[in-house]
Amino acid sequence: MADAELDEQLSTRDDIPSERLASIKVRGLAVDELIFTQGFVDYCNIDRCGGGCCHSGVYADLGEQAVILEHANEIALAMDDTQDTNPETWFDGEIIDDADFPSGQAIGTQVHERDGGISGFTEGCVFLDKRHFCSIQVAAAKAGLHRWAWKPKYCILFPVTVVEGTITYDDSHSADLHYCGPKGTSNYVHSVYEAMREELQDFLGMEEFGKLNDYYLSNRERFEKSRLTPGLIQVTL
Ligand code: SF4
């Protein structure tokens, strides 16, 4: 991953005001109500965004890295002529300790200079192809598996993330994204939560997601009022 970008992403739980924390926990994690009030686009539409969220790569849990390397042949075959097909150079080699990953350790994907197209970025994750698709996802789908079977969890979840045990909105990584980030508020049609329900179901499991959804429905009127009031809770730049 790009160093400057990583520093920006490593925000801390101290950044989340206590009054924004929901009165429930799901899967042992606190919940920042910003996910219910922050606006977002209809869905992650690569044709509109160009995969800008992949421009700085991602941290993958060491277990996720092992799964990716286990399927290196299939993933390399899904890559195009602009990508590095050598698995030995897919990760940056710097292991970090982070309790927000299942194993407690993670490693960054390598980032390369590339034409970011409409995203406007000049670099991208080693797994990002020239169509701005993720080769890990393409390979899993080609193998007849669920499209997220081999994909790092924090890629699936974005713009939702987990910071020091709290599910929240990744405002720092979203800041430069012209389509879905706070620079693209005119594209917003609903909240981050509403856009990311399937991803949260995958992450939390249906039972814990059900608790989150019950909380959302119980407070929906308050959240919608906040979402539609610019500057009240939404991240603005
Ligand atoms: S692994 Fe795939 S989804 Fe994640 S940042 Fe890289 S290209 Fe994007």
Please determine, for residue 9, whether its predicted confidence score (pLDDT) is greater than 60. no
Name the DSSP letter for residue 136: H
Q: Is residue 235 part of a domain?
A: no
Pocket of ligand 1 (CB under 6 A): 54, 57-58, 109, 125, 127-128, 134, 136, 152, 155
pLDDT at residue 196, rounded to an integer? 98
Q: What is the pTM of this model?
A: 0.90
In 3-state terms, what secondary structure has residue 107?
A: strand
CA-based angle 48:52:53, to the nearest 5?
Answer: 120
Q: Which of 56, 132, 148, 155 to mutate to test the pocket of ligand 1 (most atoms within 8 A of CB)?
A: 155
Q: Tens digits of per-residue pLDDT, 97-146? A: 999 999 999 999 999 998 888 888 999 999 999 999 999 999 999 999 99
Give me ligand 1 centre to Cα 84, in Å. Answer: 14
Domain coverage including residue 197: 3-227
Distance (Å, whole) CA 39 – CA 30: 20
Q: Is residue 233 part of a domain?
A: no
Q: Is residue 201 part of a domain?
A: yes
pLDDT at residue 14, rounded to an integer? 66
**In 10 A of CB 88, how many CB atoms?**
9
Q: Is residue 50 part of a domain?
A: yes
Write the CB contacts of 105 (distance below 8 Å, at least 6 apart in sequence).
61, 62, 95, 96, 97, 98
Q: Are strands 29-32 and 21-26 parallel, antiparallel or unpaired?
A: antiparallel
**152 backbone dihedrals φ, ψ, rounded to 5°:** -60, 140
Half-sphere exposure of 128 (CA within 13 A, CB side): 28
- Residues for the chain: how many in total? 237
Give me ligand 1 centre to Cα 25, in Å. Answer: 28
Express as a percent the part of the chain with pLDDT over 70.
91
Distance (Å, whole) CA 182 – CA 168: 15
Q: Is residue 182 part of a domain?
A: yes
Please determine, for residue 236, whether its predicted confidence score (pLDDT) is greater than 90. no
Burial of 153 (0-12, 13-18, 19+ CB in 10 A): buried
Q: Tens digits of per-residue pLDDT, 16-73? A: 899 999 999 999 999 999 999 999 999 999 999 999 999 999 999 999 999 999 999 9
pLDDT at residue 7, rounded to an integer? 44
Number of domains in the chain: 1
Determine the atom of ligand 1 nearest the C-alpha atom of 137.
2
Q: Is residue 234 part of a domain?
A: no
* Closest alpha carbon to 61 in 203, 233, 200: 203
Q: Is residue 237 part of a domain?
A: no
Q: Is residue 64 part of a domain?
A: yes
